[in-house]
Amino acid sequence: MSDAARALTERIRERAYALGFDLARVTSADPFPAAEATLKERIAGGLMGGLDWFTAARAEVSCDPRALLPSARSVLALGTFYLADAPRNLTAPGDPHGRVSCYAWGDDYHEVIRQRLDQLAAYVRELAPPGEEKSIVFVDTGRMVDRAVAQRSGLGWYGKNTCILTKGWGSWVFLAELVTSLELLPDAPVGANCGRCEVCLHACPTSAFVAPYVLDNRRCISYLTIELRGSIPIELRPLIGTHIFGCDICQQVCPVNQVAERRLRAAGQLGARGERLEFQPRAAVGSSPALIPLLALDADGFRARFRHSPLKRAKRRGLLRNVCVALGNLGDPAAVPALCRALEEDEESLVRGHAAWALGRIGGVEAHAALGRALEHEDDATVRQEIRYALEMLGER
Ligand code: B12
């Protein structure tokens, strides 16, 4: 590796830090055969169930940087710390609140990081002789296997919960990449691992970990509350608790994260003064939003409230479905009038069906009456089935 490549790598790394990235490591643009084999195995085994876009063909492309940029020589792996301090649950009797995963409290990271990546790519272009450099950037949605890149570049190591853990920031980092035709100096992977610790595997309320490093997507609360478009399987609903968008449990219980959080707090990088403004809870989202008002959101209200927030991904129908499940799990009778309105008036059958389930869980005279009324005029077969199930739940009490 020439001194010029070494110097170039350092300049790009420095600029990445100056732009707000917290970690920047380099790996070659060689393929990731082990990741490709794992991805294909998981897809074939149904563990990526529900993510129809995650096909074997996609796995091949995402594990080969040169399939994405034929002239690629290096990949710059980038990490951005996002944890912020905020009350996680504000629920009080008569005022039920839900939980939002902390990656979604602030501005949408895709937008924030994309801007920084574009600035970094422009800088890299300036450094290279005209016409000689090509690069592409990725954050999350791109066809790049983010965690495998992070692991090989030494940005972090695989935790048993499948998240990439880093020395300074725990797993509270977003991953992104710049794939470039420039020759940069590669870093070595880190030797760390989870040892005998399996805390995360046992903490998952839905038992989504089939084994260490193996997640069954179909049981993960993050999938169920963000990516799943249809009905949440009835047997999993009680296990979701008050999560209305994503879940952090397998990260919160991780001892590596707990040590990192304590260290960051002591160093003033976590807590009132040290946090990144962009990932602080937005007023419209917060870390623990009141649930009853969310049920009253119409399409325009939803768009306005979640415009630059990751929550928009769930769409109105998905978020209100989750709100119903959380209210059913909390069992607070204060939610009954709003749930009755959702059952009888919401335009989305998905929301009406989950409102029925929640009313069945909470019970009471008003809930019972609304379910009976709805059964008389509901046309949708799935919602009718949900209502009958809810009435059965009430009958069993
Ligand atoms: C699909 C997806 C999901 C799916 C998960 C499906 C799945 N089983 O992976 C769902 C919607 C459930 C999800 C949830 C979450 N996600 Co997501 N997700 C992705 C996405 C788009 C692809 C991930 C992927 O390739 N999965 C395929 C599986 C097979 O990969 P894997 O689990 O990493 O498998 C590797 C390891 O298991 C390892 N391995 C296998 N066996 C063994 C054995 C040993 C001994 C070792 C050491 C390693 C090892 O090799 C595999 C291949 O690399 C990436 C973005 C991207 N473009 O990469 C973000 C990404 C992984 N998600 C991210 C985040 C933040 C989350 C959530 C924390 C969000 C939340 N709070 O709700 C949760 C975490 C859940 C969890 N424990 O993984 C971050 C993770 C950052 C990090 N520090 O790791 C990413 C990288 C997005 C980003 N750009 O920042 N996600």
The model's pLDDT over 126-185, given as tens digits with 9 standing for 90+, comes to 888 777 788 999 998 778 999 999 999 999 999 999 999 999 999 999 999 999 999 999
State how far the Cα of 108 lies from the Cα of 307, in Å rounded to an integer: 9
Q: Assess whether the C-beta atom of 356 lies below 6 angstroms from ligand 1.
A: no
Q: Is 199 exposed, middle or buried (0-12, 13-18, 19+ CB in 10 A)?
A: middle
pLDDT band of 4, cuts 50, 70, 90? confident
Specify the ligand 1 atom closest to the Cα of 146: 58
Q: Assess whether the C-beta atom of 160 lies below 6 angstroms from ligand 1.
A: no
State how far the Cα of 124 lies from the Cα of 11, in Å rounded to an integer: 9
Let me know if domain 290-397 sits in CATH 1.20.210.10. no
* CA-based R_g, the chain, Å: 23
Q: Assess whether the C-beta atom of 153 lies below 6 angstroms from ligand 1.
A: no
| Probe target for ligand 1 pocket from 32, 222, 226, 244, with the most ligand atoms within 8 Å of CB | 222
Tell me the pTM: 0.96
Ligand 1 centroid to Cα of residue 134, in Å, is: 28
Specify the ligand 1 atom closest to the Cα of 171: 83
State how far the Cα of 87 lies from the Cα of 301, in Å rounded to an integer: 25
The more confidently predicted of residues 85 and 385 is: 385
- Average pLDDT over the chain, rounded to whole? 94
Q: Assess whether the C-beta atom of 83 lies below 6 angstroms from ligand 1.
A: no
Look at residue 52 in the predicted model and tell me its pLDDT.
94
Ligand 1 centroid to Cα of residue 369, in Å, is: 44
Task: Please give the average per-residue pLDDT across 240-261, as a whole number.
Answer: 97
Q: Assess whether the C-beta atom of 113 lies below 6 angstroms from ligand 1.
A: no
Q: Assess whether the C-beta atom of 328 lies below 6 angstroms from ligand 1.
A: no
Specify the ligand 1 atom closest to the Cα of 216: 8
Share of the chain above pLDDT 70, in %: 98
Q: Hey, what are 368's tokens?
A: 């019972």
pLDDT band of 276, cuts 50, 70, 90? confident
Q: Assess whether the C-beta atom of 166 lies below 6 angstroms from ligand 1.
A: no
pLDDT of residue 1 exceeding 80, the answer is no
Task: Please give the average per-residue pLDDT across 368-377, as a whole number.
Answer: 97
pLDDT of residue 271 exceeding 80, the answer is no
pLDDT band of 313, cuts 50, 70, 90? very high
Give the active site residues.
140
| Probe target for ligand 1 pocket from 163, 245, 249, 279, with the most ligand atoms within 8 Å of CB | 163
Chain CA centroid to CA 163, Å: 11
**Using one digit for the tens of pLDDT, what is the confidence trace for 227-236?**
999 999 999 9
Q: Hey, what are 6's tokens?
A: 């070494």
Look at residue 81 in the predicted model and tell me its pLDDT.
95
Look at residue 328 in the predicted model and tell me its pLDDT.
98
State how far the Cα of 137 lies from the Cα of 143, in Å rounded to an integer: 10
Query: How crowded is residue 33: how many other Cβ atoms within 10 Å of its Cβ?
Result: 11
Task: Please give the average per-residue pLDDT across 188-194, as a whole number.
Answer: 96
Q: Assess whether the C-beta atom of 103 lies below 6 angstroms from ligand 1.
A: yes
pLDDT of residue 3 exceeding 80, the answer is yes
What residue segments make up the domains of the chain, in order of their start? 3-84+105-180, 290-397
Ligand 1 centroid to Cα of residue 163, in Å, is: 6
At a CB cut-off of 8 Å and minimum separation 6, what does 181 contact? 69, 71, 72, 73, 132, 133, 134, 135
Q: Assess whether the C-beta atom of 109 lies below 6 angstroms from ligand 1.
A: no
In the 3-class helix/strand/coil scheme, how is the chain assigned residue by residue? CCHHHHHHHHHHHHHHHHHCCCEEEEEECCCCHHHHHHHHHHHHCCCCCCCCCCCHHHHHHHCCHHHHCCCCCEEEEEEEECCCCCCCCCCECCECECEECHHHCCCCHHHHHHHHHHHHHHHHHHHCCCCCCCEEEECCCCCCCHHHHHHHCCCCEECCCCCEEECCCECCEEEEEEEECCCCCCCCCCCCCCCCCCHHHHHCCCCCEEECCEECHHHCHHHHHHHCCCCCCCCCHHHHCCEEECCCHHHHCCHHHHHHHHHHHHCCCCCCCCCCHHHCCCCCCCCCCEHHHHCCCCHHHHHHHHCCCHHHHHHHHHHHHHHHHHHHHHCCHHHHHHHHHHHHHCCCHHHHHHHHHHHHHHCCHHHHHHHHHHHHHCCCHHHHHHHHHHHHHHHCC
Lowest mean pLDDT among 77-81, 214-218, 272-276: 272-276
**Using one digit for the tens of pLDDT, what is the confidence trace for 316-355?**
999 999 999 999 999 999 999 999 999 999 999 999 999 9
pLDDT of residue 370 exceeding 80, the answer is yes
pLDDT of residue 273 exceeding 70, the answer is no
| Probe target for ligand 1 pocket from 51, 108, 117, 162, with the most ligand atoms within 8 Å of CB | 162
Task: Please give the average per-residue pLDDT across 365-385, as a whole number.
Answer: 97
Look at residue 280 in the predicted model and tell me its pLDDT.
86
100 DSSP β-pair partners: 245
Specify the ligand 1 atom closest to the Cα of 39: 29
374 DSSP β-pair partners: none
Tell me how many degrees the CA angle 306-161-107 measures, rounded to the nearest 5: 20
Ligand 1 centroid to Cα of residue 191, in Å, is: 20
Q: Which of 168, 138, 140 is nearest to 155 (CA)?
A: 168
Specify the ligand 1 atom closest to the Cα of 213: 37
Q: Assess whether the C-beta atom of 257 lies below 6 angstroms from ligand 1.
A: no
In the 3-class helix/strand/coil scheme, how is 36-62 assigned residue by residue? HHHHHHHHHCCCCCCCCCCCHHHHHHH
Backbone angles phi, psi at 391, to 5 degrees: -65, -35
